[in-house]
Each structure stands twice: as C-alpha cells, then as structure tokens.
Amino acid sequence: MNKNTVLAWATFIMIIVGLALIALGAFRYDDVAGWGFASVGIGFFAIAWVFNALKGRV
C-alpha cells in the first residue's frame, strides 16, 4: 500500500465514523449530548476532507 491508498482508506473510515456519530446525535441522544455528537461528526468530515485533499500531494 502506498501513501495515497492509506489516505484513501483513512478518508473512507473517517466518513463512516462521522456518519455514525451524526446518526447517534440525531437518533439516540435527544438532549445536549446529541448536539455534541453531531458536531464531532461534522469535525470528522472536515478532517476527512483534508485527508482527501492531501492525496497525491504527500
């Protein structure tokens, strides 16, 4: 596996984890904790976007 493949897998895994966190915030927790889970999920999307942008440049 080269560096681009590792970044692609990291992006894919972070998108899955981000979706899971947003789903937890939306469906499992109805109080303030739900907002926290959803915001962390959006943060995972942002980091996955950076990993995707680094493909081919590292």
- Note the pLDDT tens digit of each residue in 17-39: 999 999 999 999 888 999 999 99
User: Is it the case that residue 3 has pLDDT exceeding 90?
Assistant: no
56: region left, alpha or beta (phi > 0 left; psi from -120 to 50 alpha): left
Over residues 34-54, the pLDDT tens digits come to 999 999 999 999 999 998 898
Distance CA 38, CA 26 (A): 7
Which residue type occupies 25?
Answer: G
The model's confidence at residue 58, banded by pLDDT at 50, 70 and 90, is confident
Mean pLDDT of 4-25: 93
Strand boundaries in 1-58, DSSP class E: none
